[in-house]
Structure 1
Amino acid sequence: MESRLHSIAGDISRKYRTRLNEDCLEKRQHPEELRNRIEGEYQRDYSRIMYSSSFRRLQGKMQLLGIKNDQFFRNRLTHSLEVSQIARSVAAELNYEATELFVVEAGALAHDIGNPPFGHAGEKELNKLFKDVGGFEGNAQTLRILTNVEKKKPDFPGLNLSYRTLLSVVKYFNKRDNQDGSPNTKFIYDDDYNLLKNFVDENEIPVRTLDVQIVDLADEIAYAAHDLEDGLRVKAFIIDEILHEYSSLYGESTSYLKLKELVDKAKEKSGFGSKSIDSTEYCKLFRQELSSSIIFTLISDIDLVDVNGDFKKKTGTKNAKELDFATYKELADGLKEITFRCINHNNDVYYYEERGKRVLAYLKDFYINNINFLPPEYRAKNLIERYKIDQPKEKLQDRLICDYISGMMDSYAINTYEQITGKSFNNILDNQEIKNE
């Protein structure tokens, strides 16, 4: 049977992909000497992201904060690889050419590299600490890493990716502050906004491109399936608890009934009740079967869906329709919400996050007063001289400190704090109570 995605591929190609294949989208921010290689522009982008230090550091950032580092569970790096595979599958259903597949794979690899240490709590803390220099937001930092922080050539900052690949990570095309002064919770930094705004206006490219829509949905699918799988594996919950929580939130909805159907089929396919399979093997097979069936169900549910006003305001999109889940959006959103709550909402996590926030605040103050402890590439004086940057030194230095701290793995931030202070991370907040909010 033909999938829903495959059936709309022709319509999508005419309305959306034609513009994405224009030559202007292969252009880069800075001119480069072409190398005599078979690989195309987008494969070069994919390689640059995959070999970047920011991508490698994702291995030290856990996908689920409540899961301990001393066991092998998904981290941000393995999550990004899985998002890349799902994005490729979706794009293939839409008849992407082989060269184009590298765009969505590259966007998927890069989509989380702006994530700071200590998860969402770290993101909020950094946004508060650096509010005077544009704040901090994980998606915005991803784009800044690609355009400024990572280095590929000595004469300009950034990885110098094609504009199409840059746009494949832009989920939110808004500045931090609207014209009326009201703030956006999701945004990109002003410099990157202006860079891309000039490009898309000049070339009449609609933002929230088809590429980023694919990456965004692949991320949602991976969250829904794989976080559930890891939570079951660590015994943070059993599947009946998830079904109970889901029913409590959404009642006997279409998505709840679908989830229950997938659970029942996964049990059957995994040999439930079979005397030839022990319980350990059964549980493993069940987790894998359920995860795979959720992924297949959600990919099969993707369609062109009308975009409402709230979504347009949140993302900055001008598209009337975008790719989304047609029937089972509640399934993806519900699984993500419930598994996150079940795994992360406990006192150990609250204390860990609060300690992490104190570490970030301490490191900011330390580096502001001890610039020479920063690596040379994070010192404003060096960058102003090297790239002839026309920006106040103090403001640039604060932003570079934010870049440095936000790029740390949790363990590196903790070790740095302990080395500087001589105090244990675990002793922060001793005899203090944290209010669970």
Structure 2
Amino acid sequence: MAVEGACARAPYAADARASRGRLHPDQPSPGRSVFRRDCDRVIHSTAFRRLAHKTQVFVYHEGDHFRTRLTHTLEVTQVARSIARALGLDEDLAEACALAHDLGHPPFGHAGERALDRCLADHGGFDHNAQTLAVVTRLERRYPAFEGLNLTWETLEGLVKHNGPLLPRAAEGRSCCAAEDKLPVVIRDYVAVHDLALWSFPSLEAQAGAIADDIAYDAHDIDDGLRAGLFDLDVAREVEIVAHILDEICAMHTNLDHARLVHELIRRLITVMIEDVVAESRRRIAEKSPADVDDVRLADSPLVAFSATMAAADRAIKAFLWTHMYRHPRVMQVMGAAEGVLADLFGRYATDPETLPAEWRHDLPDETGARARRIADFIAGMTDRYALIEHRRLFDSTPQLR
């Protein structure tokens, strides 16, 4: 099934001309839609540049060919645009959601997130999705008239709700509900001033960005795991879809060298997953017949999704990677040490705020929880390298993360 070529904009796609706008009114750009402008603001942000030096799975000095948060983000963006194009959606909105989706990740990947979550256990915890909202609404300070990037409502809802509604449908039209107490503090505070309708699904463009993240993770973590020698192709055959694709390749190309074989495996895996999403999404859209993007939001389930068969394959890939990659002793040793680095930094800044840079010491809150979150904001923005530099500055011994 081919998914190439642009489609006319579907009636259920988000319409930049009908955007719900920005929290702070802004002059329109004569040559760009509001969603294209969101993409450009993310690309030019400091947080986006830092993704180049933030861990995906392997820390930066493991090698030049492993994914970083930036290369992962670009790969997610490419997949999201492919899905959006095939479904007749607004590609710029899909891109904006994909480009910004990991801006809140701390250094050292999910290890850093675990460390900060423990440090903030008494103050609401740490969640990288909520931190992304903090980055684009508060922590980026580039514009004279507002804090953050002042992105459109549609991009913000895509970042916050990319995995679906955060509140029950009963919350519609109500100022609060019991479930709000379980929301991350950052999200709860923000929606108090800018309602993102947390009870509804996001646009199809945001849904495309979310499933593109799964596709990129699955394919490229297999690629990185093979490159790192954490497992080989024979072991990867434990996953049925991988074995099937490898059999197809070997039937067509005999004596293919290892590098080309791996590349062809990853290329075909991405293709078959995208094609499945497009086919299943078209089926769901036809079944629900949404007239516009608001009908998409009111649906009782996501409309961009894997088929049942591919969803099972996705789970199998993730289970395989969990065992053979994310929990591999080599990765666990490095990430355990990385968690210790961030815990050390948090503890030192909390007990001795004078060790913070001047701009982060300025107006440091007195209230314990607010102060802890301010310190976490600083640490979450660090690159891997800067976190290690700071640790060496403040401590006599810093682990070698290799």
**Shorter-chain TM band:** 0.7 to 0.9
Counterparts of 1:250-265 in structure 2 under 5 Å? 256=240, 258-265=241-248
Does the 8 A contact of 1:224 with 1:333 survive in 2? no
**TM-score, length-normalised on structure 1?**
0.76
Given that 2:39 and 2:96 are in contact with CA atoms closer than 8 Å, whether structure 1 keeps it comes out as yes
Displacement of 1:79 in angstroms is: 0.8
Please give the root-mean-square deviation of Cα atoms over the aligned residues, in Å: 3.2
For the 8 Å contact 1:381–1:393, the answer to whether it is kept is: no
Instruction: Note if 1:365 corresponds to 2:340.
Output: no
* Correspondence for 2:146: 156
Once the two structures are superposed, residues 192-213 of structure 1 have per-residue CA deviations (whole angstroms, 9 ceiling, x without a partner) of 34345x2538xxx943321221
The equivalent position to 2:111 in structure 1, one of 121, 135, 138, is 121
**Alignment check: 8 A CA contact 1:360 1:405 kept:** yes
Q: 2:263 aligns with which of 281, 288, 293?
A: 288
Give the corresponding residue for 1:337: 319
Q: Report what 1:133 is aligned to.
A: 123
1:222-241 matches, cutoff 5 A: 222-241=216-235
Question: 1:362 deviation in Å?
Answer: 2.1
Aligned ranges 1:203-222 → 2 under 5 Å: 206-222=200-216
Aligned partner of residue 169 in structure 1, secondary structure: helix
Using the alignment, how far apart are the partners of 1:199 and 1:48 within structure 2?
A: 20
Shift of 1:374: 3.1
The answer for the alignment partner of 2:187 in structure 1 is 189
CA contact (8 A) 1:107 1:169 kept: yes
Instruction: Please state how far the C-alpha of 1:332 moved relative to its aligned partner.
Output: 1.9
> Could you tell me which residue of structure 2 aligns to residue 299 of structure 1?
274
**Letter in structure 1 aligned against 2:345:** L
Compared CA separation, residues 200 and 179, structure 1 to 2 (3 A): closer
Q: Does 1:53 align with 2:46?
A: yes
Residue 159 of structure 2 aligns with which residue?
169
Who is 2:100 aligned against? Answer: 110
Instruction: Specify the alignment match of 1:179 in structure 2.
Output: 178
Larger relative contact order (C-alpha < 8 A, sep ≥ 6)? 2
1:321 aligns with 2:305: no
Q: Per the alignment, do residues 195 and 336 of structure 1 end up closer, same or farther by CA in structure 2, a change over 3 Å counting?
A: farther
Task: Note the C-alpha offset of 1:67.
Answer: 8.5
1:74: which partner in 2? 67
How far, CA to CA, are the matches of 1:356 and 1:238 in structure 2?
Answer: 26
CA distance in 1, matches of 2:314, 2:222: 11
Alignment identity in percent? Answer: 30
Deviations 1:368-401 (A, max 9, x none): 344344345434628xxxxxxxx97554332221
Find the counterpart in structure 1 of residue 197 from structure 2: 200
**Alpha-carbon offset, residue 129 of structure 1:** 1.2
Shift of 1:66: 7.7
Q: 1: distance between equivalents of 2:136 and 2:336?
A: 29
Instruction: Compute the displacement of 1:69 (Å).
Output: 2.7
CA distance in 2, matches of 1:340, 1:180: 31
Q: State the shift of 1:318 in Å.
A: 6.0
Q: Is the contact between residue 227 and residue 336 of structure 1 (CA under 8 Å) also seen in structure 2?
A: no
1:231 Cα deviation after fit: 1.9
The structural deviation recorded for 1:416 is 0.7
- Residue 187 to residue 239, structure 1, CA distance change in 2 (3 Å): farther
Q: 1:41 to 1:183 in 2, by over 3 A?
A: closer
2:391 is equivalent to residue 417 of structure 1: yes
CA separation in 2, counterparts of 1:115 and 1:44? 23
Q: Distance in 2 between matches of 1:78 and 1:87?
A: 14
Count of equivalent residues: 374
Label 1:133 to 1:32 Cα distance change in 2 as closer, same or farther (>3 A).
farther
Runs of 5+ in structure 2 lacking a partner? Answer: 168-175, 285-296
